[in-house]
Amino acid sequence: MKTCVTAARLFTPTDVIANPVVLIDSGTIQDLGTRSDLEVPAYAQHLDFPDLVVAPGFIDIHVHGGAGHDVMRDDPSGRIAFEKALAKHGVTSYLPTTVTASMERILGAVDRLGNIICAEDVSQAGARPLGIHLEGPFISAAKCGVHPAEYLVSPTVDLFERILDASGGTLRMMTIAPEVPGANEVIRHARERGVFTSIGHSNATFEEAAKGIAAGAVSATHTFNAMRALDHREPGILGAVLSDERIMADIIADGVHVAPAVVQVFLKAKGIDRAVLVTDAISATGMPDGTYQLGPFPVQVRGDRAEFEGKLAGSVLTLDRAVRNVMSFAKWSLQQSVILGTRNPAQLIGADTKGELAVGSDADLVLLSAKGEVVHTMVGGQLVKD
Contacts of 128 (CB under 8 A, 6+ apart): 83, 92, 93, 94, 120, 122, 379, 380
Contact 292, 282 (CB under 8 A): yes
Residue 153 burial (C-beta neighbours within 10 Å; 0-12, 13-18, 19+): middle
In Å, how far are 57, 199, 229, 256 from 259, measured between CA atoms? 26, 21, 14, 6
Is position 280 annotated as part of the catalytic site? yes
Report the sign of the C-alpha dihedral through residues 61, 295, 308, 91, in that order.
Answer: positive
Query: What is the chain's percent helix, strand, coil content, to nearest 5?
Result: 30, 30, 40
Distance CA 71, CA 79 (A): 7
CA atoms within 13 A on the CB side of 135: 28
Which entry of 60, 70, 244, 280 is annotated as an active-site residue?
A: 280
Distance CA 328, CA 326 (A): 5
CA angle 165, 169, 174 (to 5 degrees): 90
Catalytically active residues are 280
